C-alpha cells in the first residue's frame, strides 16, 4: 500500500538555528500534504495544508514565516522550522493524499521528534 516517509525521525538542534523535515510519498503522487504538530498526550493539531506547486495554507495562529512549507513536487513536501526555540520542541507529523489515496484514506508519516536546546 501507499507509504509516507518522514525524515529525520529525530533531530536535535541549537536554539536559533533552522531545521528541515522532509515528507515523501513513496508510491503515489501526493497532490495535497498536511503538516501537524502534536504535544505529549494531546491530539494532532493541523498547522498547514500544502498543494503541489502552490503556497501552503496556514491555520490560524501558525506563523508562516517561522514554519516554512514547500511542496515543490508531487512526492515531496518539506517543513522548515526557522530560528528554532525550545518551545518549538514537539512531534511533527505529515500526512498525504493523492491520486491513489484520494477518497480512500489519508496516509500519515511516522513523525519527527524535534528537540531544540
For 6-43, b/e burial (b = at least 16 CB within 10 A) is beeeebebeeeeebebbbbbeebebbbbbbbbeeeeee
Among positions 54-83, residues that touch another protein (CB under 8 A) are: none
CB of 16 to another protein, least distance (A): 26
Q: Which three cell numbers stand for residue 51?
A: 498543494
Choice from 16, 18, 42, 85 touching another protein (CB under 8 A): 42
One residue of 13, 22, 29, 49 binding another protein per CB under 8 A: 49
State yes or no: residue 32 binds another protein (CB under 8 A).
yes
Pairwise CA distance, residues 86 & 108, whole Å: 25
What does the binding site for another protein look like in residue numbers (CB under 8 A)? 4, 6, 32, 34, 41-44, 46, 49, 91, 93, 97, 102-111, 113
Amino acid at each position: 500500500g501507499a507509504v509516507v516517509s518522514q525524515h529525520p525521525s529525530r533531530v536535535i538542534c541549537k536554539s536559533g538555528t533552522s531545521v528541515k523535515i522532509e515528507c515523501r510519498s513513496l508510491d503515489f503522487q501526493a497532490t495535497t500534504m498536511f503538516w501537524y504538530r502534536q504535544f505529549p498526550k494531546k491530539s494532532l493539531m493541523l498547522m498547514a495544508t500544502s498543494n503541489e506547486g502552490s503556497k501552503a495554507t496556514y491555520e490560524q495562529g501558525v506563523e508562516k514565516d517561522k514554519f516554512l512549507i514547500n511542496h515543490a513536487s508531487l512526492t515531496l513536501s518539506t517543513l522548515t522550522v526557522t530560528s528554532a526555540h525550545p518551545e518549538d520542541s514537539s512531534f511533527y507529523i505529515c500526512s498525504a493524499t493523492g491520486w491513489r489515496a484520494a477518497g480512500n484514506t489519508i496516509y500519515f508519516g511516522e513523525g519527527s521528534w524535534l528537540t531544540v536546546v
